[in-house]
Amino acid sequence: MSTELLSVSPPNGKVASLHDSARGSPEPLDGFHELVRDINFILGPSNGIDSAGVDVEELKHVLTQYDTYDADWDRYAFADHSRAYTRNLVDNCNGKSNLLILVWTPGKGSPIHDHANAHCVMKILKGSLTETLYAWPCQSAGDAAECAASPISPGHNTEHTCSFRGAFESSALKIKRSTTYEAGGVTYMSDRLGLHRIQNPSSDEFAVSLHLYTRNIPGNPFVKNYEFQYNFPTWGPCNVTMTSVIGHLQSHDFEGQFRYWNSCDPSQLFDARIDTFVEDDKKPIAKNIETQARYNQILFIWTDCDREGEHIGSEIRDVAVVGNPRLRDAGKTVRARFSNIERAHIINAARNPVPLDEAQAHAVASRMELDLRTGASFTRTLTMSLKPLIVTPGSDENRIVSYGSCQFPTLGFVVERYFRVRNFVPEQFWKIHVMHEKDGIKVNFRWARNHLFDRMVVVILFERCLQAKTAKVTKVQTRPTSKWKPLPLTTVELQKCGSRFLRMDSHRVMKIAEDLYTKGWISYPRTETDQFDRGMNLQALVQKQTQSRQWGQFAQNLMGGGFQQPRDGRNNDKAHPPIHPVNFVEATALNQEEARVYEFVARRFLACCSQDAKGTKTEIGISYGPETFEASGLTVLERNYLDVYPYDKWTSSQELPRFQAGEVFEPTEAMIKDGKTSPPGYLTEPELIALMDANGIGTDATMAEHINKIKERAYVETRPRARRARQDGDDDEASDEGEAPEPEAGRGGRGDRGRGRGRGGRGGGANNTRNSGASGVQEFIPTTLGVALIEGYENMGFETSLAKPFLRKEMELKMKAICEGRKTRQEVTAETIAQYRAVYARSQQRMDVLKASVRRYVVPAAR
């Protein structure tokens, strides 16, 4: 017995490519396979039956010309007395059509059905079949003309005869014609002609027919139906139809009376009814799933194995059960659990289906409802209250002042740093500097106290050092050290590195990464996972990179014995592997930005598969009077991953002279240097992403969208960040990693004067400023409106501020509680709505505070 199974994959049908259909090897002398060859020739590399370059009559002609011979096609014909008919794949054609043989049980037939906007040419190979053509049911409550003209009518602009609306029973549908086709007969069917039903009129003989289907789903070239056969341990041999979706199928909005800005008080949106519906551009996709579900016994979901994927899976099930209510029964809807698309991993997932995780789906549903209610209520209130103050003659009268539970905390981070910079007051500090020259090498020793803010204390300590006259070497230590190779690439890390190294903002780098994924060059770029599954064949991926003229030799060295398993990070979302190249592509085949992002992903992956850089670090400690000082030096011995990953820096410092423990010397130079603390820089995009990640604001997939939203709303502006000036107050030593240390926020040194005594005299400190101009990393500056919004809400004095991340972080913890079964969707939704409703009510009472903030910052700037 063969089972009919509908399988639904992620956007763009990526999983479908893993289940290649049973494409036969045509035999040139076989008449049936000559027909298959001719059909492929007519369709060409990319056409469907309905394509402009294809003549349906030509297809019908070649089918008519074929003289059927059972021995040619009987290998594809499998009968099953327990079913009305079986569908058996012959050829996948050009990827746009399927060629199938259907075997019809005596006296049985298909249900009345449409073709989900597909086209079909049918030839009877054996026996006879009766086709009954029905008029489409009315799609409008009005008259027939209105119905036929409706753009949502499947029979749009075609011959239209009204049947009872919504009926798919033969007693209610009007029959247009009934035709019996004998062996050799050919017919054509599409939704433009109506609904139809095929039956085997014989009471004792099987009938066999050949069907050529176009699989395209209108509205999206990536959504197709693939048909193949697979033997599942759970269900046995199955005919599988694999299709796909493009993200969420369903949308949510308030019912009609609440959708318009002035239709109600915004506070009513906390309780208003929410409708769930399919947008017009998704209706063909939903219709395809509904139609395919009618003929299938199992629904097998292959969406991403994360919260969002579970919810999309539940949407697919909701659409499928419209066509086949039995799919709600226990065990009839299942999902595949997978995290990468290695062949063995996918086969294991196919053999071990699991139920949909309803708890995760409920968590997403709760979050979507909360985001809609809170976002709409606060956005309408803010816009209607502040619009008279911010809209000036000549400005955009449709300007929206929006609120989002992720959007506002993101803006809050930017404004908080802005005020830290503006309100910074520099403090003067003093430090003791010691330098000694030995064997022609000058060694600068760092004071263990770094610097102090009390000049008198520093002077006293310095005088004690001078009284001692000599310094003594207390430690000489040389030890191996390493610079660790990077962790596998996550979405958050890609966004931060894109800004830091590629000079692209997070929204842009994610758009390019999505394009590279769609084209098949890199893996799915939205992932929290920073560890590769041990079962993945990483060396096969490395092998593909040996073709590169830039890093191919490094990849070849890895294949020659240098390969090492990547480090494991702490995160695994169980949905996607880390971002990595899946195929090699020459830079000339990509545009400039795509080439840069692909190069970064490829180099990062190869670096992960290499070895840590190795070196030695020498540390020298001295005591000078009561104070201690240190100097260190780095020698890089093996660069390893650094040879392919230029984004990390780790270089040898100047070689230190040989010192012996217990050695005594008089320092060449000792002096007091002074300086001032410098303010922190404005927030950069990598820093902002790190803050959002640490505080649970957004997901790896949405952080870039939230950042882009506060730009679109003109709450912030960006500009290239100037490099920080490096002053005498900063240490000259490089860090262990060979990079100049980042200045501490609020404690970076800036000194320009020195006083002290070298051997035989006093010395002055030189000004050692370095500034090489703009770095290219973008920094965020809030606009007057952005500052006004955050300061206004902060000045309201609420314990729970909308400008802080705590409300959203608490919401995310509640979503986790739903997933773990500790709370229900209803409980979390009710609790959170009550919390936001209270904040809304208090903010309404103190709206004058927010307006005062806008008048302070925005109104003067607009004049």
Residues belonging to the binding site for Fe cation are: 113, 115, 196
Give the active site residue among 403, 517, 524, 857.
524
Which amino acid is it at 850?
Answer: L
User: What's the rounded Cα separation, in Å, for the pair 551 and 542?
Assistant: 11
Residue 298 C-beta-side C-alpha neighbours within 13 Å:
26
CA geometry: angle 576, 407, 258, nearest 5 deg:
105
How many CB atoms sit inside 10 A of residue 649's CB? 13
- Give yes or no: 836 in active site: no
Which 3 state secondary structure label does DSSP give 38? helix
H helix intervals, 108-201: 144-149
Contact (Cβ atoms closer than 8 angstroms) between residue 860 and residue 392 = no
In the chain the first and final C-alpha atoms are separated, in Å, by 79
User: What's the rounded Cα separation, in Å, for the pair 600 and 587?
Assistant: 12
Q: Which of 421, 415, 402 is nearest to 790 (CA)?
A: 415
DSSP 8-state class, residue 75: G
User: What's the rounded Cα separation, in Å, for the pair 75 and 66?
Assistant: 17
Which residues on neighbouring strands pair with residue 276, listed in sequence order?
Answer: 252
User: What's the rounded Cα separation, in Å, for the pair 340 and 640?
Assistant: 28
How many CB atoms sit inside 10 A of residue 650's CB? 20
User: What's the rounded Cα separation, in Å, for the pair 672 and 400?
Assistant: 57
Distances in Å between the Cα of 376 and the Cα atoms of 111, 257, 273, 391, 791 are: 45, 14, 13, 20, 21
User: What's the rounded Cα separation, in Å, for the pair 348 and 135?
Assistant: 45
Question: What is the residue whose two structure tokens read 């410098």?
Answer: 678
- For the record, the structure tokens of 304 come out as 């991403």
Contact (Cβ atoms closer than 8 angstroms) between residue 778 and residue 685 = yes
Characterize 620-638 residue by residue with b for buried, 16 or more Cβ atoms within 10 angstroms of its Cβ, and e for exposed.
bbbbbbebbbebbbbebee
- Provide Rg for the chain, Cα atoms: 35
Q: Which residues are annotated as a binding site?
A: 113, 115, 196
Question: What is the residue whose two structure tokens read 């100037």?
Answer: 722
Backbone angles phi, psi at 517, to 5 degrees: -65, -45
Residue by residue, DSSP assigns 600-625 as HHHHHHHHHTS--EEEEEEEEEEEET
DSSP 8-state class, residue 560: I
User: What's the rounded Cα separation, in Å, for the pair 207 and 131?
Assistant: 13
Torsion region of 90: left, alpha or beta (phi above 0 gives left; psi -120 to 50 gives alpha)? alpha
Which 3 state secondary structure label does DSSP give 634? strand
- The residues annotated as belonging to the active site are 524
